[in-house]
Structure 1
Amino acid sequence: MSTRRTDLLDAAISLLGERGVHGVTHRAVDAATGLPAGSTANYFRSRDALLTAVVERFADRERANWEDTAARMCPTTPEEMAKALAEFAHEQVGPYRTLTLARYAILVEAANRPALRAQLTETGARVRQYFTNWMRVIGSTDPERDTPIVANYLTGLVLHQLSYPNPGFDPLGHLTALITTLVPGR
């Protein structure tokens, strides 16, 4: 169920993904939603309050996307994990492109805003639990070590594709090589 607050935050996330953090202003969100000037400020008094709420909404949307992926896929081998993550990467640079760009923009902003960094750390922990569980299920003997290796590689892979689009983007081979090196066959 959509609410005005949610609509404002979704518009802010779109602006974040399309224009970067400097494009997210109360006035820009009002314009993007077609609401009168001052509407966003009625919900979020300051830019910091708006960005904090954006991170919450952003985390909810990303968690929902991840949960959807986890519901559709349950990899039990390194090869299945590579396939699932390749599909996930395609979604991140395709239908979820704007949300993904928003994630990278907010991550960069978090480097200078400790409160955002703490908030992202907390919300990211939930997704990391899914990922760590997948690593455990496929046979990782050290999922706490392997999870950030694979997750950081995936993050870089997606960022690279967004920055330097390759029409033939196919991350499956590289993901398979990485994951089967970390988790050799059982």
Structure 2
Amino acid sequence: MAKNPERRTALTDAAIEVLAHEGARGLTFRAVDARAGVPVGTASNYFSSRDDLFMQAGARINSRMTPDPDRVEQAMRPAPSRELIADLMHWLVQRMADDRTGYLAMLELRLEATRRPALRAQLTRTVRAAFDDSARFHRDAELPGDNDAFLVLYLAMTGVLLEHFTLPDMLADTELDQVVETVVTRIMPLR
């Protein structure tokens, strides 16, 4: 296996682009090579199999979706409140919009995971770890809402993002910012 980390990252990012634009069936070494603009056969020097390519793409998406700790620290300066939760959810939507390709690729990976047990196991571990980290962050920051409220917020925001990125016209008569405000207001207590 080739060891150039910058090239591996570029190829993995190209794989994410392929997933987002062509779906899991379109994710081939040749498609990754073409998207990355490298000679045919390059991706096969960096990934041992198509399954490895799926796994590496999932890990890279997770890395891309993780917010910068300095930005998190800055976002958490206001006192814990329902309004702060709303601000955090608006920021979440913006971060996902800023990496729309990564978000769509993750949806493709989730669908592919229904057919690939190893990918399902890895994605489950990754998503569960991120969920647990977020729940712990919510508790440690003393944000309003108990564990059940956090779970419902997570599930609601997952649904909002799914609709927004896959069928945006479904909610065309409702402003996205207002949907986020409504979700937070209905789920999270004032204190």
Pick aligned residue for 1:81 from 65, 78, 85: 85
The TM-score with structure 1 as length reference comes to 0.84
1:15-57 superposed Cα distances (whole Å, 9 cap, x missing partner): 1111111121000011111211111111113111111111122
1:64-102 superposed Cα distances (whole Å, 9 cap, x missing partner): x36465344226111221122123213323x21111101
Quick check: 1:77–1:138 contact (8 Å CA) kept in 2? yes
**Alignment of 1:158 onto 2:154:** no
Change (3 A) 1:73 1:54: same
**Alignment of 1:23 onto 2:26:** yes
The TM-score with structure 2 as length reference comes to 0.82
After the TM superposition, which of the residue ranges 74-83 and 30-39 deviates more from structure 2?
74-83
CA distance in 1, matches of 2:149, 2:107: 22
CA distance in 1, matches of 2:111, 2:161: 15
Change (3 A) 1:6 1:168: farther
Matches within 5 A, 1:49-60: 49-60=52-63
- Shift in Å at residue 62 of structure 1? 1.7
- Shift in Å at residue 146 of structure 1? 2.4
Residue equivalent to 1:35? 38
- Shift in Å at residue 126 of structure 1? 3.6
**Alignment of 1:128 onto 2:127:** no
Residue equivalent to 1:149? 152
Cα-Cα RMSD:
2.5
CA distance in 1, matches of 2:69, 2:112: 26
Quick check: 2:20–2:101 contact (8 Å CA) kept in 1? yes
The runs of 5 or more residues in structure 1 that have no matched partner are none
Provide the aligned length of Structure 1 versus Structure 2.
182
Quick check: 1:12–1:54 contact (8 Å CA) kept in 2? yes
Q: Percent identity?
A: 32
The runs of 5 or more residues in structure 2 that have no matched partner are none
SS at match of 2:124: helix
Change (3 A) 1:169 1:90: farther
- Shift in Å at residue 134 of structure 1? 4.7
Change (3 A) 1:30 1:169: farther
Pick aligned residue for 1:179 from 164, 181, 184: 184
CA distance in 2, matches of 1:29, 1:178: 38
Q: Which has the higher contact order (CA 8 A, sep 6+)?
A: 1
Residue equivalent to 1:102? 105
CA distance in 1, matches of 2:73, 2:38: 36
Change (3 A) 1:32 1:174: closer
